[in-house]
Amino acid sequence: MSTILLVDDDVDSLWLLQILLVDRGYQVLRAEGGASALDKAAQCLPDLIVTDWNMPGMDGIALCERLKCYPALAQIPVVMASGRVPPENKSTLWNVFLSKPVDMGALGAAIDSLLAKRLSGPQIHINVASPPISRWQPIPSKLWV
């Protein structure tokens, strides 16, 4: 079951989207702003994020910019929704832009398509250096050869 993080400052919109997506078989997490969404994304690593653009504090664009700063979060597909016209110079921050009011059929199709691509595509593995050996950690026998 795929996990979707919904981000919006309008609680009614969050509940409506949650009901629709749970009915489609998705697990749904909710965040009422960009900062909260960034924390939840870091903790839960959702399969997809649906966010509103216009939010107080950290808006949807700032959220997308912050997500791209973290390798583990940068690969999460994002659906941006807004009543405003998207800026061309920021269009690489999200995968799909939907105008509000959001057509639920278009949202469902976008989510299904992005998740299918993510789950069937090549998995990107991030190489992270091993932590340095602690003086309290046993030394592997290979080092003594």
SS (H, E, C) 23-56: HCCCEEEEECCHHHHHHHHHHHCCCEEEEECCCC
- pTM for the whole thing? 0.79
The confidence score (pLDDT) of residue 91 equals 77
pLDDT at 90: 76
Band of pLDDT at residue 136, cut at 50, 70 and 90: low
pLDDT for 143 equals 42
> Do 31 and 50 meet the contact criterion of CB atoms below 8 Å apart?
no
Mean pLDDT of all residues in 9-14: 92
* Domain boundaries 3-144, CATH class: alpha beta
The predicted model gives 18-36 an average pLDDT of 95
Query: The tokens 């969404």 sit on which residue?
Result: 37
Q: What is the pLDDT of residues 67-120, one digit of tens each?
A: 999 998 999 999 999 888 877 777 788 999 999 888 999 999 999 999 998 777
**Residue 17 and residue 61: Cα distance in Å, rounded?**
20
Q: Is residue 144 scored above 50 in pLDDT?
A: no
| Segments making up each domain of the chain, as ranges | 3-144
Contact 80, 86 (CB under 8 A): yes
pLDDT exceeds 60 at position 51: yes
